Every structure is written in structure tokens, then in C-alpha cells.
Amino acid sequence: MGFQVGSTLLDACVLAVLSREDAYGYVLTQTMRAVTDISESTLYPVLRRLQKDGYLTTYDQPYQGRNRRYYAITDAGRKKFEGYKEDWIRYKTQVDKLLCGGDDDGQV
């Protein structure tokens, strides 16, 4: 993709993935890479910040003799994600109007 993903959109995407199911870092990174070019070194600070802000929690699960750290969305994280979704719909509609020449209803 040719567009840079800002921190707010990155937060929204991480919360979107985790709103569907808990995930450990590698799976989360691979899921995010399906839509944006992101590295683990970029993702982990986002996860730590979201956890610090109370939007995520973690837990460990044993796997083949090692622990995997899973990330789970909190109730506060779900509320934040819902707000991000509403903001995204408004933003996307406005950008679509500019780029695609849609009418006031967002139709192109």
C-alpha cells in the first residue's frame, strides 16, 4: 500500500483484530501485514502503549514447552474501538468524496 498508516489508525487496526479473538504477537503481526507493511519492532510498542492505556491485557499460554504471550482486548478497548470505527466511517466517506467525486451521501 502506498499510504502511511498513522498511529491512530494502527491502534484502531490492532483493536479490530483483537476484537475478533485473542492473539499472540506473531499471529497479530501476520494479520496486520495482510493490510499494511508493519514490522514486529513497530507493532510491539503499539501493543505496550495500548496495554498501558488499559485497552489491552495479556496472559501467557504454554506452547511446546514455552509460553506464548496473548493479547486480549478489554471493555475499555472495545469502547475505544467502537469510537474508532465511527470516526473511520466519517473520515472514509469524506476522503471518498474528494478522491472519487461522490455525492453528499458518499455514493460514487
* 14 exposure class (CB count in 10 Å sphere: 0-12, 13-18, 19+): buried
User: Each residue of 57-69: pLDDT tens digit?
Assistant: 999 999 999 999 9
108 or 10: which leads in pLDDT: 10
- The conformation of residue 61, written as its DSSP 8-state character, comes to E
CA distances from 43 to 30, 36, 64, 70 (A): 11, 11, 24, 14
Domain boundaries, given as residue ranges, for the chain? 7-100
pTM: 0.85
- CATH T-level assignment (fold) for domain 7-100: Arc Repressor Mutant, subunit A (1.10.10)
User: Each residue of 33-85: pLDDT tens digit?
Assistant: 988 888 888 899 999 999 999 999 999 999 999 999 999 999 999 999 999 99
